């Protein structure tokens, strides 16, 4: 089980990871220690990753900060600190680590701290054993992300913080995303990010989310899985200017608080046997209204069928399928019941998200748009985001949202979205699928290639 804790210090970020780390290779190159000095660092791969990321972060923000924020970037005055809390030499940290903190108190943590008049203020400190566990689970990109997130807090320390904890943390995710895009474009001297890294990075965010049922107004709230992933992708797609402009009090967060004993007992999930009814009623209601109010014309619901094996009309052995010429003449949306039960382990809305994708293909078919190419799948995922936003906003009478439901959509897309046994052959990455879903969720049909 993986769980996330709240912040321990001002703008600090703390997480607990349970499990055994596996080996990870050292980075192929490293910045000179004299260029970026990390107090307490070793020659090991994690400190090398951190040093590389910090060197590139300094370069990125020194270059981009003036254009985005209208002033020069001042390097961190307090420096950087690496600690293994289980093997601390106090003499290496005569004034403690960031803001005078005892290095033994850093376990499973990484934080930026800035407090006037405190030793080692304006600094980043991290538990390298903790970062090693992140690397063992999600690859070397996740320790780099932690550095980028904490550096985002350092940026905030120079421009001012948003009003709430959740806005502060997700803005730092956004700022980290803007740096990651710069790295992915090949601009960094010491860090690198490839396509597989981006999928792993989004998977890693799952353990960095707040526990489901945490209120967005909590003093130490960091955000839901969707909130954090969405913020990162916003910075990645739109740059630091979006991070500057979009984190005011009007920003909407999907994180929600459990309000009933039933939600606490079930984790916000309806019984599996109820998902068929939820699917039938909510998808028909949404698409009927979408055609009437946005797309024009009249929507005819396809036949929705829970099957034990793919129907004969399926082009291959896939779990989720839309067949235009089957059913009652208006198309067939079929899903494998055994697969749905497997997906239900992620949550009820993961099942809904999966089935909503081929259902969206039936809507495209009625709009005389393609249903069997990559463009169609991209559109269907985006449209599923649009549907999910309507559910989240309480605009459908046939279904209600529970805390964590939109997180389950992200989990489904990363776990199953690019599996050819689920949605037929596709070359779309998990990162791209989540980005498409996010676009539909935030912007509606205008982002989904349906002529709006």
Examine the domain organization and report whether 279 and 203 are in the same domain.
no
Examine the domain organization and report whether 205 and 323 are in the same domain.
no
Task: Average the pLDDT over 196-203 and give the result.
Answer: 91
Examine the domain organization and report whether 319 and 236 are in the same domain.
no
Examine the domain organization and report whether 212 and 294 are in the same domain.
no
Of 400 and 40, which is predicted with more confidence?
40
Structure tokens at 227: 């909130």
Q: Distance between CA atoms of 380 and 352, rounded to whole angstroms?
A: 13
Span 87-123, pLDDT tens digits: 999 899 999 999 999 999 999 999 999 988 899 999 9
Span 434-445, pLDDT tens digits: 999 999 999 999
120 burial level (CB within 10 Å; 0-12, 13-18, 19+): buried
Examine the domain organization and report whether 217 and 283 are in the same domain.
no
Examine the domain organization and report whether 241 and 303 are in the same domain.
no
> With 60 as the cut, is the pLDDT of residue 278 above it?
yes
Answer whether residue 348 is part of any domain. Answer: yes
Task: Average the pLDDT over 292-302 and give the result.
Answer: 95
Examine the domain organization and report whether 238 and 275 are in the same domain.
no
For the ranges 88-102, 270-284, 308-322, the lowest mean pLDDT is seen at 308-322
Examine the domain organization and report whether 108 and 187 are in the same domain.
yes
% of the chain with per-residue pLDDT over 90: 68
Examine the domain organization and report whether 152 and 238 are in the same domain.
yes
Sheet with 3-4: list strands edge to edge: 3-4, 12-16, 109-113, 123-127, 79-83, 38-39
Give me the pLDDT at residue 206, please: 80
Give me the pLDDT at residue 328, please: 66
* pTM to 2 decimal places: 0.88
> Using an 8 Å Cβ cutoff, are 223 and 210 in contact?
yes
Task: Average the pLDDT over 234-258 and give the result.
Answer: 89
Give residue 410's domain range: 266-447
Cα–chain center distance at 46: 23
> With 90 as the cut, is the pLDDT of residue 266 above it?
no
Examine the domain organization and report whether 225 and 81 are in the same domain.
yes
Q: What's the start-to-end Cα distance of the chain, in Å? A: 43
Q: Which DSSP state fits 302?
A: P
The count of domains in the chain is: 2
Task: Average the pLDDT over 172-199 and give the result.
Answer: 95
Examine the domain organization and report whether 423 and 315 are in the same domain.
yes
């Amino acid at each position: 089980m993986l769980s996330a804790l709240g912040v321990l210090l001002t703008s600090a970020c703390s997480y607990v990871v349970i499990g055994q780390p596996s080996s990870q290779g050292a980075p192929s190159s490293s910045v000179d220690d004299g260029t970026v000095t990390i107090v307490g660092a070793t020659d090991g791969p994690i400190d090398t990753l951190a040093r590389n990321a910090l060197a590139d972060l300094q370069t990125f923000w020194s270059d981009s900060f003036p254009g985005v924020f209208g002033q020069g970037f001042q390097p961190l005055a307090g420096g950087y600190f690496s600690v293994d809390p289980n093997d601390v030499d106090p003499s290496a940290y005569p004034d403690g680590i960031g803001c005078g903190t005892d290095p033994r108190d850093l376990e499973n943590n990484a934080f930026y701290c800035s407090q006037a008049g405190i030793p080692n203020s304006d600094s980043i400190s991290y538990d390298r054993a903790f970062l090693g566990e992140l690397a063992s689970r999600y690859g070397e990109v996740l320790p780099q992300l932690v550095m980028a997130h904490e550096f985002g807090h350092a940026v905030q320390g120079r421009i001012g913080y948003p009003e709430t904890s959740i806005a502060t943390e997700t803005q730092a995710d956004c700022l980290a995303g803007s740096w990651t895009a710069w790295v992915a474009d090949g601009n960094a001297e010491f860090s690198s990010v490839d396509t597989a890294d981006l999928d792993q990075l989004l998977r890693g965010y799952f353990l960095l989310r707040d526990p489901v049922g945490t209120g967005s107004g909590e003093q130490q709230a960091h955000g839901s899985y969707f909130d954090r992933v969405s913020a990162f992708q916003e910075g990645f797609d739109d740059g630091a200017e979006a991070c500057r402009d979009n984190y005011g009090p009007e920003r909407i967060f999907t994180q929600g608080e459990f309000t009933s004993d039933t939600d606490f007992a079930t984790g916000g999930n309806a019984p599996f046997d109820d998902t068929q009814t939820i699917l039938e009623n909510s998808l028909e209601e949404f698409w009927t209204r979408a055609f009437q109010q946005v797309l024009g014309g009249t929507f005819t619901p396809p036949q929705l069928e829970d099957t034990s094996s793919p129907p004969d009309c399926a082009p291959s052995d896939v779990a989720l399928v839309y067949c235009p010429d089957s059913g009652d003449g208006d198309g067939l949306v079929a899903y494998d019941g055994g697969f749905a039960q497997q997906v239900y382990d992620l949550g009820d809305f993961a099942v809904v998200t999966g089935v909503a994708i081929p259902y969206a293909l039936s809507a495209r078919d009625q709009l005389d748009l393609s249903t069997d190419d990559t463009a169609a799948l991209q559109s269907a995922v985006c449209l599923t985001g649009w549907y999910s936003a309507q559910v989240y906003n309480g605009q459908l009478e046939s279904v209600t949202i529970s805390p964590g439901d939109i997180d389950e959509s992200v989990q489904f897309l990363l776990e199953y979205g690019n599996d050819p046994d689920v949605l037929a052959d596709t070359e779309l990455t998990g990162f791209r699928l989540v980005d498409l879903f996010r676009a539909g969720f935030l912007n509606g049909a205008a982002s989904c290639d349906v002529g709006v």
